[in-house]
Structures are given as C-alpha cells and as structure tokens.
C-alpha cells in the first residue's frame, strides 16, 4: 500500500492520534448503544420498585395485601358459577364484608340470577361519586382467583381502608356484578 504524500505520518493507520482507531471507536459506540439502555432500565426499576405487600396485621388505616388475601381464600375456595349454591355463599360473604366496612348494601335480586351487589359509602357533601366495580362469579371449572376474585378481594380491602380514613367528600359506589 502506497502512502499518500498529503497524509502526515502522525495520521497513518495504527498511529496514536486523538480519536484513536476508528474500529475501536465503533466498537465502543456499539457497546454504549446496548449497555446504556440496559443500565437506564435497571436504574429505573430500582427507583420505581414496588413496596412490599403488607401482612394482615398491618395498621387498620393502610391497605393490606394479607387482609385482601384472606378474602380471596374465602371467595376462591371452589368454583362458584352464576346461579350455584356456592355463588350464593360468596354473595352473602361479600354483603357481610361490605356491611362490616360500614357501607349501605343492597342485593339486586330477581327470580333468577344474576344477583348484583351494590353498596355505597356516603360522602360528607357529595357532588358526585366514584364507582368501583368487579364481578364475583367464576366459570364452572375454576375457582376464579384471577378472574375476578383477586379484584373483588382488593376492592373489599380498599373500601375498608376508605371507611377507616378521613371522611370523603363524595360518595363511593361499589358494584359487584354476578355474571360479568
């Protein structure tokens, strides 16, 4: 390979100049493209990590995953499809828990299922309401822990905490539907 007379010796390939070997520079850039996003994700995950779930004996004014899990163990003990004896037991449990949490409760029943549970936590000077909703029945072959027992259990714990805390201005409505 013939050297161009216009290129000084200091810029010959392999010589030590600011910026170094272009191939090394590309490798470092490529590594940075892959490593930096991974580091950013790890840092974000560390900073935004979820709090540890609280046990059932947590203070009464905070949400407790342990207390919600106790509800879920009752609700999802066995399948409870709409119209079944077990579904009626789950409905009665939900009504009792909502009343225990201080809510006014009604069951919208008819001669045949579905039987929706409606509850209200009255606000102090309501100008509106927020609706919390989940369904409590399951399919015939599943106890319904994920669909939708976990949501119902979390909702029960949530309204209990809302009633324990400072009085709310607006109403909170709870709708637990039967038959989705």
- Residues 32, 91 share a domain: no
- Concatenating the DSSP letter of every residue in 98-157 gives HHHTT-EEEEE--SSS--EEEEEE--SS-S-EEEEEEE----TTS--IIIIIHHHHHHHH
> Taking Cα atoms as reference points, which of 99, 169, 91 lies closest to residue 128?
169
Q: Is the pLDDT of residue 48 over 80?
A: no
For residue 135, what are the β-bridge partners?
Answer: 177
- Residues 119, 80 share a domain: yes
In a domain, 57, yes or no: no
Q: What is the rounded CA–CA span in Å between residue 29 and residue 23?
A: 10
pLDDT (average), residues 142-170: 94
In a domain, 58, yes or no: no
Q: Which domain holds residue 26?
A: 10-47
- Residues 21, 90 share a domain: no
In a domain, 97, yes or no: yes
DSSP state of 11: G
- Residues 80, 21 share a domain: no
- Enter the pTM of the model: 0.73
- Express as a percent the part of the chain with pLDDT over 90: 61
Phi and psi at 165, nearest 5°, equal -80, -165
DSSP state of 16: -
Mean pLDDT of the chain: 86
- Residues 36, 77 share a domain: no
Q: Is the pLDDT of residue 157 over 60?
A: yes
Residue 158's CATH number: 3.40.630.10
pLDDT of residue 16: 54
The structural domain count of the chain equals 2
Q: What is the pLDDT of residues 50-71, one digit of tens each?
A: 788 999 999 999 999 999 999 9
Which of 21-25, 80-84, 107-111 ranks highest by mean pLDDT? 80-84
Quickly state the pLDDT bin for 137 (edges 50, 70, 90): very high
- Residues 115, 148 share a domain: yes
Quickly state the pLDDT bin for 27 (edges 50, 70, 90): confident
Q: What is the rounded CA–CA span in Å between residue 119 and residue 143?
A: 24
- Residues 96, 33 share a domain: no
- Residues 142, 82 share a domain: yes
- Residues 158, 77 share a domain: yes
- Residues 86, 153 share a domain: yes
- Residues 88, 156 share a domain: yes
In a domain, 60, yes or no: no
pLDDT of residue 105: 96
In a domain, 137, yes or no: yes
- Residues 144, 106 share a domain: yes
Quickly state the pLDDT bin for 78 (edges 50, 70, 90): very high
In a domain, 29, yes or no: yes
């Amino acid at each position: 390979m013939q050297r161009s007379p216009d290129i000084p010796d200091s810029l010959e390939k392999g010589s030590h100049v600011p910026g170094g070997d272009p191939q090394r520079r590309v490798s470092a850039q490529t590594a940075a493209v892959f490593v930096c996003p991974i580091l950013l994700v790890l840092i974000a995950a560390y900073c935004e990590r979820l709090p540890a779930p609280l046990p059932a004996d947590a203070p009464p004014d905070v949400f407790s995953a342990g207390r919600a899990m106790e509800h879920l163990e009752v609700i999802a003990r066995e399948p409870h499809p709409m119209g079944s004896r077990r579904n009626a037991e789950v409905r009665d449990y939900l009504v009792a828990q909502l009343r225990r949490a201080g809510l006014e409760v009604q069951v919208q029943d008819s001669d045949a299922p579905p039987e929706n549970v409606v509850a209200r936590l009255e606000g102090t000077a309501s100008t509106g309401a927020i609706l919390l909703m989940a369904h409590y029945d399951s399919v015939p072959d599943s106890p319904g822990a994920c669909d939708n027992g976990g949501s119902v259990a979390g909702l029960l714990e949530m309204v209990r905490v809302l009633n324990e805390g400072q009085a709310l201005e607006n109403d909170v409505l709870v709708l637990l539907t039967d038959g989705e």
